[in-house]
Structure 1
C-alpha cells in the first residue's frame, strides 16, 4: 500500500497537479495509431472505468495503471503523448524513428526500452533472394501509473499478449514492471521459435551443399547467412538490457519480477548462443562451398589438360607430315597413311588409359 501511495505521489509530481489530463482517446489526437487502451487495478481490467480522463486521474492517485498501445504513431501524436506523461524528448525521438538497436534507458523514474521483434517468413524453396527473417520493433515507456507501447512493423502484435495477461491477474498486479516483463518474455519466446525454424533451413542447405554439384547452391547459403545476421542483430544487443532488468533495482520492478527477468535472460542467452552457432556454421558451409568450387575448377582444368595432351599427339604427327619434305619416312609407301593413323590412334588410346587411371578423366 505504501508503494502504491509513493507511485501516486511520483506520478502527481510529474504531472505537476496542473490542469486535468487531455482526453487523448476521445479527442481523436491518436486516431490511426491507437490500437487499444485499458485501465488496470489490482491486476484486473476495470471495465467500469470507460473514461480515459477518469482512468488517468485514478492512476495518478496510485490506484492502478493505464496501458496504451500504439501502432506506428507519427511525430505529432508522440509529442502529444510526451506532453501528457512527461516523457523525455530523446526517448520520443527514438520511438518516432524505427530501426533502433535493442536498449534500455532510464529517464528519471521512467524506463524506456527498445526490443526487436522477429518473424519467420514461410517459403517454399529457399532461393538467393528469399526473405527468411522479418524484423520490427516494440518500444515500451514504463512509468509510475502507465505503460505505453509503440509498435513498428506489420508483425509483433501485442493484442494477444494483453488478452493472456488479463487472464493472469497476478502478473498484471505487478504493475507496469509486470507488463514490461511479459512483453520481453513474449519477444524472446518468438526468438526461440524463429531460431528453430531457421535451424531446419540450415540443415536442408547443409545437406544440399555436400551433394554433387552442391556448390551451385552457394548463393543460397550466402542469403541465409544474411538472414541469420538479421536475427543476430535483434538478439545479441538485448542481452545487456535483460541483464540490467534482472539485477538492477528500480521502483517499477518488484523483486519477484526481477526473478522472472532472470528467466527471460536465461532464455535469451540460450537463443543468442544458438544464433551465434548458426552464423559460424553457415560460415563453415560457405567456406566448404567455395572449396568445392575450387575442386570442381581443378577437376575441369585436369580434364581439359588431359584432352589437350591426347589431341596434341596426333596434331604433332600430322604437323610433321604436313611439312611436305621429299625425304620423309613412309611417304611413298602404299599403306603409310593407314600406318600413321594407327600410330595416332594407339598413342591417343595409351594417353587416355593413362589419364583415366590417374582419375584425370
Structure 2
C-alpha cells in the first residue's frame, strides 16, 4: 500500500519566502493540472490570505506549516491529478478512488493523510430525480485537497464562508473546517431533499386515495428508486461521522468532536427520514396496486354482467326469430297455414315463450 507522508521536499525554485509564494501569479487555465483546479489558496486563522496560487507555490506554502492550503479539483483524470498527488504526497489508492469516483461515503487514514468521501444530494422537483454528486477530501497536516465529481455548490459555499472569515473556535479547526462545513452542508442537503420528496409523496397519496381511477405505479416506483439512490448516499456516511465525532482521527482537534457529533445527528435524522419515506412509498404502491386490481375486477364484473344481459336478450329474441323463420319458408303443405286461428296461436306461443324466458332470466339475475 502506498502511503503518503505529506508534501514532498521542495525544489530549488520553491525556496522563496512564504510572502513571495502568496503573491505568485495566477496561471491560465488549460496548462497541465491547472486546467482542473477550481481554486488554490492559502488560509490562516479561518480566513483566506492572498490570491490564487500555482500548484508549486501552494505546496511550498503548505510546507511552511503556517495555516493550510486548499486545492480544489474538478473532474480530474489520472494525468490531471498526478502533479497534485506528487506535490502533496497523496496516497495512490485514495487517488485512484478519488479520480474514478462512484465510491461510498467513507473515511480512511493513510499515514498522515486522511481520505474522506461525501455524497451531496439535491432533489430536482420538476423531474422528481435525486441528483447525487461526489466529493473527495485529502486532509494533510497543512493542506486539504478536494476532488469534485458532479454538480453541487457545497465547496463553493464553504469557500465563500472562508472568504468572509470564521469565528472562534471554528477558526481553530484549520483544514478540518473545510471538511466539517462541507459535511454539515451535505447533511442539510439531505434534509432539504427529504422535505421535497415528502411533498411529492403526499401528492401521490392524495391521487391514489382520491376519486380518480388512474394507475400511479410507474411514478411511485420511479420515486422509490430515487429514494434508494438517496439511501446509498446517506446510510454509509453514518460510520465515518461516528469516527470523526469519537476523536482520534489525525488532524481533527478535540474541540471539533462535538461539531461532528451534531452533523452525525443530522445524518441520523436524515437516514430515519429516508427509511420512513421508503416505507410510505411501499405502502402507497401496495394500496395503488390493490386499488387498480379492484378497479379491474369491477370492470370485469360489469363486463360479465353485460354479457349475461346480452345473452339473455339474445335468447329471448331467438324465439320469434326461429318461429318466424320456420313459417317464412312458404311450403305448400305446412300445418296451420290454412288454419283460421293459426296466426293468433303463433303470436300467443311467441309471447308466452318470451315472457317465460324473461322471468327465468330475471330470477337468475341475468336481467
TM bin, normalised by shorter chain, reads 0.7 to 0.9
1:166 maps to which of 160, 163, 168: 163
Other-structure match for 1:70: 73
Name the counterpart of 2:110.
107
Residue 224 (structure 1) aligned with residue 223 (structure 2): yes
Q: Is the 8 A contact 2:316 2:354 kept in 1?
A: no
* Aligned match of 1:126: none
User: How far apart are residue 69 of structure 1 and its match?
Assistant: 1.1
Question: What SS class does the counterpart of residue 34 from structure 2 fall into?
Answer: coil
For 1:250-269, list aligned pairs within 5 A.
250-269=249-268
Q: 1:31 aligns with which of 9, 29, 34?
A: 34
Cα deviation, 1:215-253, whole Å, max 9, x if unaligned, reads 511211111111111111111111111111111312310
Cα distance per residue 1:51-92 (max 9 Å; x no partner): 654553342132111001111112111111111111111111
Q: Larger deviation: 339-348 or 131-140?
A: 339-348
What SS is found at the alignment partner of 1:30? helix
Question: Cα gap change, 1:310/1:66 in structure 2, threshold over 3 Å: closer, same or farther?
Answer: same
| 1:26–1:169 CA distance, 2 compared to 1 (3 A) | farther
Structure 2: distance between partners of 1:210 and 1:58: 63
Question: Residues 332-351 of structure 1 correspond to what in structure 2 (within 5 A)?
Answer: 332-346=345-359
Task: Provide the secondary structure at the position in 1 that maps to 2:248.
Answer: coil
2:299 corresponding residue in structure 1: 300
TM-score (norm 2): 0.81
Q: Evaluate the alpha carbon distance shift between residue 54 and residue 308 of structure 1 in structure 2; reply closer, same or farther with a 3 A threshold.
A: closer
| Distance in 1 of aligned mates of 2:270 and 2:366 | 52
Match of 1:143 in 2: 140
Alignment of 1:261-340 (within 5 A): 261-317=260-316, 322=322, 332-340=345-353
Query: Is the 2:319–2:353 contact (alpha carbons within 8 Å) kept by the matching residues of 1?
Result: no
RMSD of aligned Cα (Å): 3.1
Within 2, Cα distance between the matches of 1:95 and 1:132? 24
Deviation at 1:341, TM superposition (A): 4.2
Residue of structure 1 in register with 2:330 after alignment: none
Q: SS of the counterpart of 1:101?
A: coil
For residues 110-130 of structure 1, give each alpha carbon's deviation from its aligned partner in whole angstroms, at most 9, with x where no partner exists.
11111111111131xxxxxx4
C-alpha deviation, 1:30, in angstroms: 2.3
Partner-residue secondary structure (3-state), 1:100: coil
Alpha-carbon deviation of 1:191? 0.8
Q: 1:84 to 1:211 in 2, by over 3 A?
A: same
1:314 CA displacement: 3.6
Q: CA deviation at 1:132?
A: 2.0
Q: Could you tell me how far apart the structure 2 residues matched to 1:177 and 1:239 are?
A: 18
Contact 1:25 1:52 in 2 (8 A): no
- Which residue of 2 is the match for residue 248 of structure 1? 247
Segments of 4+ in structure 1 off by > 6 A?
21-25, 323-327
Contact 1:36 1:68 in 2 (8 A): yes
Structure 1 CA distance for aligned equivalents of residues 296 and 53 of structure 2: 73
CA spacing shift, 1:316–1:25, aligned 2, 3 Å = same
Larger Rg computed on CA atoms: 2
The separation in 1 between residues aligned to 2:154 and 2:6, in whole angstroms, is 30
Q: Secondary structure at the match of 1:216?
A: coil
For 2:346 and 2:7, the matched residues in 1 are separated by: 118
Name the count of aligned residue pairs.
337
Residue pair 1:215, 1:290 contacting (<8 A) in 2 also:
no
Task: Call closer, same or farther: CA 1:49–1:32 in 2, change over 3 Å.
Answer: closer
Relative to structure 1, is the Cα distance of residues 26 and 242 closer, same or farther in structure 2, using a 3 angstrom cutoff? same
Residue of structure 2 equivalent to 1:237: 236
Q: Per the alignment, do residues 311 and 14 of structure 1 end up closer, same or farther by CA in structure 2, a change over 3 Å counting?
A: closer
2:91 aligns with one of 69, 83, 88: 88
CA shift, 1:42, in A, is 2.1
Q: What is the CA–CA distance in structure 2 between the aligned matches of 1:71 and 1:297, rounded to whole Å?
A: 53
| Preserved CA contact (<8 Å) 1:39 1:46 | yes
What is the distance in 2 between the residues matched to 1:211 and 1:24?
65
